[in-house]
Amino acid sequence: MKHENKKILYIVIAILVIFGVLYGLYSYAGQEAFIRTTLSGLTLGSLFFLVAAGLTLIFGLMDVLNFAHGSMFMLGAYAGWQFYTNPTFIFGVLPLVLAFVAGIMVIPLIKPELVRLKLSDSWQKRLPKLLYLAGLIVGVLAVLKFDIAGLAETAMVAIVTTSTGALAELSPQEPLLRFMWRPVLLFISGALVAAGVSKPGDRAEITAPEPLKNRLVLPIILLVLTILFTFVRESASELVLLMNGNLRFALAVIVATLFGFLLGALIEITMIRPLYIRPFFIVLMTLGLSFVLRELVQVLWDPLAYQMVRPPLFAQPGRASTIAEWLANGSSTISIAGVTFPTYRLFVILLGVVMFIFVTLLMTKSRLGMIIRAGVQDPQMVEALGINVKRVFTIVFALGVALAALGGIGAAPFLPVQPMMGDQYQMQGFITVVIGGMGSYVGAFAGAMILGMARAFGDYFALKLQLSPTIAEASTVIIMIIVLLLRPQGLFGKKD
């Protein structure tokens, strides 16, 4: 049998098996329980996909095993929660983050000159370490006596006061004259780290530089944003808090996603890039990074579980009978075939589907997607065509982290926001990638939906039959084992 015919046969068999299983579940559980559990499974599957899509890009395409991916999911939830509840913290630290990233982004400007330096072999090894150390020292001086913990507490002020309809009392930001030197020092710190990453004196790194105007664009944009947000810290917070809740939530989703993108780019440039030739070191580094990020969150917000208030579109009492009625009244629940289901969970399902379409179009229809696929398969050839492969890898990693952060803010309104929230979703993300096939975003989506349904129906049967909840948790691992036994490369993976 030809390969294509065999593939079609497998797909037909898989579809028949899925429909058979669903029909059996429908017959056993009944219409109401089946619909409710199916929608719950699709909600979980959407969240699993947002995590797995990022892992598919990072792990499946780049062969980078990122054990801090769950922490990125968690940080996205905290960033969105803080922005939506009270953005004082976000605007207080944003100029510092932008200044440091601007310093990192001067790599294309300084690298062509640094790699041409005539240095001995010993100094080629020693100088980057000294630059990293100098960058660390300057960075510590920049944040010395900065009351970041006080800014982090402002979210709780907003939770208490906005419930009465009054504007939250904003904690005063640090005076401008005292604050202004911090972004300057952090820009210098980032530039020193960038110099270390550039490998001074290593002539193997010499490549044709891009036009100067192209190298200047990103650092200048980031510096302009740094200056802008330095002067509008308090007024920007007040403006956001006075916004309509739905608009504020939309901005929170955008902010959390952009935060994930910037964080991913920063991690790839400063931590992942020097270790590509040592994959095991990347595992250890990302594992350690996950612990550091978790402890940092606990220091800022305590190891407590917070609940993000749902935006008005999903919070008004009552049940809508149609989607139009829900959008008009902002009902918290909606009737679907006679079953009452939370409207926000429908939004999460829609978010997962939209992101799947976005990733598919990006990777198959856009020039960036073509460059990413080519850069992963044959980086030397793509480099010879004048494309910066390192920048491609940075974008891939940043996109993966951004998707995880988007999943975090998407989950925040109905899951407790707490430091350990990303661990379970990271494990499910890895299982999803293995089931779907390495590097296949279609496989990641299919695997995520299968796992979401398995977990939802596992919880249903565990409750109905009075079984241990661990049986439902084990169902996803059992599915992975079955798939690996039948198709070791995953459902949509390709044989090497």
The tens-digit pLDDT sequence of the chain (496 residues) is 555 566 666 667 767 777 777 777 767 767 788 888 888 889 999 999 988 888 888 876 777 888 898 899 999 999 999 999 888 889 999 999 999 999 999 988 888 888 888 888 888 888 889 999 999 999 999 999 888 888 887 766 654 444 444 444 555 678 888 899 999 999 999 999 999 888 888 776 667 667 777 778 888 999 999 999 999 888 888 888 888 889 999 999 999 999 999 999 989 988 888 888 788 888 889 999 999 999 999 888 888 888 888 899 898 888 888 888 888 888 888 888 888 888 999 999 999 999 999 988 888 888 888 887 777 677 777 777 777 777 888 888 999 999 999 999 999 998 889 998 888 888 888 888 888 887 788 888 988 998 898 888 888 887 777 777 777 777 788 888 888 888 888 877 776 5
Q: In the chain, what is the straight-line distance between the N-terminal and C-terminal CA atoms, in Å?
A: 20
Residue 494 covered by a domain: no
Helix (H) or strand (E) holding 425: helix 421-436
Helix (H) or strand (E) holding 367: helix 367-377
Residue 366 covered by a domain: yes
Edge-first strand listing for the sheet containing 339-342:
316-320, 331-336, 339-342
Provide the 10 A C-beta neighbour count for residue 213.
8
Residue 322 covered by a domain: no
Residue 495 covered by a domain: no
Residue 444 covered by a domain: yes
pLDDT of residue 276: 80
Residue 492 covered by a domain: no
Q: Is the Cα dihedral 217, 222, 226, 229 positive or negative?
A: positive
Radius of gyration of the chain (CA): 24
pLDDT of residue 215: 78
pLDDT of residue 86: 84
Residue 157 covered by a domain: yes
CB burial of residue 302 (10 Å; 0-12, 13-18, 19+): middle
- Calpha distance 337→32 (Å, rounded): 8
pLDDT of residue 5: 64
pLDDT of residue 172: 66
pLDDT of residue 100: 94
Domain hosting 182: range is 3-316+329-486
What is the pTM assigned to this prediction? 0.88
Total structural domains within the chain: 1
Find where tokens 């797995």 sit: 52
- For residue 392, give every residue at least 6 positions away whose Cβ sits within 8 Å of its Cβ, in sequence order, or none: 371, 372, 375, 382
Exposure string for 103-136, b = 16+ CB within 10 A, e = fewer: bbbbbbbbbbebbeeebeeeeeeebbeebbebbe
Residue 115 covered by a domain: yes
User: Which of these, 77, 74, 78, 76, lies nearest to 423 by C-alpha position?
Assistant: 74
